[in-house]
Amino acid sequence: MKRLVGLWTLVALAGFTFLPWQAIEDGFFGFGWVAQFPDDRTASALLYALAFERPWLAGLLPPLALGAAALAFPREDRRFGLFLIVAGMTGLLYAFAQGFAIGILGLHWKWAIALFGEIETPQYGFGWGALAVLSAYLMMVSIGIAALGYFRGDAFIAGSVIVSSALILAFVFYPIMTMLVGAVTDEEGHLALGLFFARLFADDIWEVGCLVGAPRCGVMFNTVALGVLTGGISTLMGLAFALVVVRTRLPWRKGLRALTILPIITPPFVISLAIIVLFGRTGIVTWFLEAAFGIPPSRWIYGLPGVLISQLLSQIPVAFLVMIGVVEAISPSLEEASQTLGASRWQTFKTVTWPLLRPGLAAAFLLGFVESLSDFGNPLVLGGNFDVLSTKIFFAIVGAQHDPGRAAVLAILLLMLTLGAFWIQMRWLGKQSYVTVTGKGDSGLSAELPKTLKRVLYWTTIPWAAFTIVTYGIVIFGGFVKDIGRFDLEFTWRHYFDAFAVEMTDRGLFFSGSAWDSLQTTIEVSAISAPLTGAMGLLIAYLLARTRFAGQRAFEFMTMLSFAIPGTVVGVSYILAFNVPPLELTGTGLILVICFVFRNMPVGVRAGLAALAQIDKSLDEASFTLGARTATTVRRVVMPLLRPAIVATLVFSFVHAMTAVSAVIFLVSARHNMATAYIVGRVEAGEFALAIAYSTVLILVMALAILIIQLGVGSRQLGRRGQQGAAAMGGH
């Protein structure tokens, strides 16, 4: 521990003395400051304090000295741990206090101005030097807590828990709290409850006039209605597909599983483009109906019907993935017992099978409802006059009104709907037992479905599967014709050349296509965020599964909170929180990476917990017995056995970073544009064919990335004997 303290003290001194304290103009990962060092934007904290009129930064040194003084005590002395905790906490509090108090316009806390006088020297966001010093302070606290015997005295576990908690507080809780504060304050930062309630109860939010003949309803009613319809229909359709695959002998039933991968690797709003191509005023189906039956074109697809269809195409495969596991897990012996007692097939399905499906139904509905609330791309493309909270929030930020306070209020409503859905799910399931898989063998056969139900399932699933195939086929086909939206089917490569043209010049290859910059940024951000997401998620899973410490339940809740926050809310909260010092990240590529890491981290946690539940703790204990430390055990014993979870986490985080819209639409900039934001721009400009062509390229990139991840990570080797080895042993 003393070596660790000495190491982190040196890191802090290096950051304080040599690294730029403030964020630099060419980005957090830019190194142009080296040539400019030192000037007023690239100086270290030491140079700022001595030469650039920022003497308050010298206050960072006393906590470092106090931490170094802890080395004078033996490791077993409680003063060693106490000195480190006091030093680290003091340094962290002072660093953030001066960072929040002194901004671009100087000191802006009124009570501090009265105490210290005016300070007009500007101060920008934290940079590399601040990161080094703050990290050292945080590690001092972790080592000090471990030295006092907490976390089994293991510095690795203490550091992992405390650093993870600090990051979650900074990038999940802090943005949400900033958004809440922004909702109840005015533009000058004063408390304005009247303005808050005026925004909260505005007519365009709560109006229900459409129920009595008025042209439209409020955005709250629209959002809830769309969410309930999407969640309910997708759940029932997912159940129907699951029953067809598991409980019938339909010849093509196994092929239905292939449809579940499509929405995972497809940008969410691409379905909207296909819907417009099929059912728009100049769409293929619209043209056929007019030519064959004289039905005039209309705009019926723009509004609730179009948004609902597009969301169902995306959510039904997800609901199917949830429901098929539940249907397969139902014990056939329970249904056999029901029929043995004289129940008919329909009575057995209604009284035995259906109640056991409740956990899956609740989970599928919750996923569909929450995803509908946070969906941004489909309502933007197909919404027309049908406004929902996600699009209202977007236009409150980027529209002509530019009212961040109104956006914060709308985001709070969206968050309340999501949390309310989680609460209703828990209340509906209650504390009843739904266990159907035990350690006992079960050789029974699943009960036959009632014939009427089977016919209903066929007549709903087969047409929808065909419609899904046609819709996704349009996505691929539309990029190779001149203008599929106007039914001009002349073959062309022009859309791909416009987006991804490459020219040979005197200086070599020149990537002249308009989409190259956004594609490069998207791949870079996704490739950086995916391993960080996997590492953090699986580390937290290990801490939750293999250790016990005070506050563990609160820690687990913190890690899962971001899963319950819609992407639109995340985008708004990040804009409000990270647009000013000291955490000034807006417009950088780093904020995109951070957003994806903490949005997708809960999936890594859940995947890791599921995998660790299958790995006996005795393997860890054997490693400890042989003298390995926790970090070594995790690296050499646990991680190789977690390869399936690693693959799942990397694939999910990479694909979601490539296809995310609702959060990043607020965070992209001219310098760091994402592929999804670029495609949305092309859709708004009416360039549907170019958007479809770009989406096809994204699908191919994601499929290739999934293959690379699977080959790179590999599969775990459990060392089980094969059949030949077993036969040889039996012969002896």
Confidence of residue 679 (pLDDT cuts 50, 70, 90): confident
Domain 218-486 in CATH 3.40.50.300 = no
Query: d(Cα 38, Cα 35) in Å, to the nearest integer?
Result: 9
**Domain boundaries in the chain?**
2-149, 218-486, 519-677
pLDDT of residue 445: 58
CATH code: domain 2-149 is 1.20.140
In the predicted structure, residue 29 carries a pLDDT above the cut 70 = no
pLDDT of residue 444: 53
Query: d(Cα 399, Cα 680) in Å, to the nearest integer?
Result: 15
Q: Which two tokens stand for residue 91?
A: 């340094």
Query: d(Cα 338, Cα 344) in Å, to the nearest integer?
Result: 8
Top-confidence residue, 664 or 344? 664
pLDDT of residue 717: 53
* Structure confidence by residue, pLDDT tens digits, 330-357: 766 666 677 667 777 677 777 777 777 7
pLDDT of residue 434: 43
* Structure confidence by residue, pLDDT tens digits, 700-714: 898 898 889 878 876
CATH code: domain 519-677 is 1.10.3720.10
H or E segment and range at residue 421: helix 404-429
Confidence of residue 430 (pLDDT cuts 50, 70, 90): low
In the predicted structure, residue 52 carries a pLDDT above the cut 60 = yes
* Structure confidence by residue, pLDDT tens digits, 64-77: 999 999 999 998 89
Q: What mean pLDDT is predicted for residues 296-302?
A: 89
Computed over every residue of the chain, the mean pLDDT equals 83
Question: For the chain, percent helix, then strand, then coil, each to nearest 5?
Answer: 70, 5, 25
**Judging by beta carbons within 10 Å of its beta carbon (0-12, 13-18, 19+), is residue 680 exposed, middle or buried?**
buried
Q: Rank 181-195, 615-629, 704-718 by mean pLDDT and report only the highest.
A: 181-195
pLDDT of residue 324: 80
Nearest in space to 598 (alpha carbons), one of 574, 631, 582, 572 = 574
Q: Rank 89-103, 148-162, 214-228, 249-263 by mean pLDDT and report only the highest.
A: 89-103
Q: What mean pLDDT is predicted for residues 410-433?
A: 78
In the predicted structure, residue 721 carries a pLDDT above the cut 60 = no
* Structure confidence by residue, pLDDT tens digits, 680-693: 888 878 787 888 88
pLDDT of residue 441: 43
pLDDT of residue 139: 96
Confidence of residue 446 (pLDDT cuts 50, 70, 90): low
Amino acid occupying residue 324: I
**C-alpha distances in Å from residue 142, one per residue of 135, 145, 159, 557, 698:** 11, 5, 5, 21, 42
Rounded-to-10 torsion of CA 126, 127, 128, 129: -60
Rounded-to-10 torsion of CA 600, 603, 609, 612: -90
Q: Rank 86-90, 241-245, 726-730 by mean pLDDT and report only the highest.
A: 86-90
519-677 shares the fold of 2-149: no
Amino acid occupying residue 29: F
Above pLDDT 90, what percent of the chain? Answer: 26
Q: What mean pLDDT is predicted for residues 422-430?
A: 74
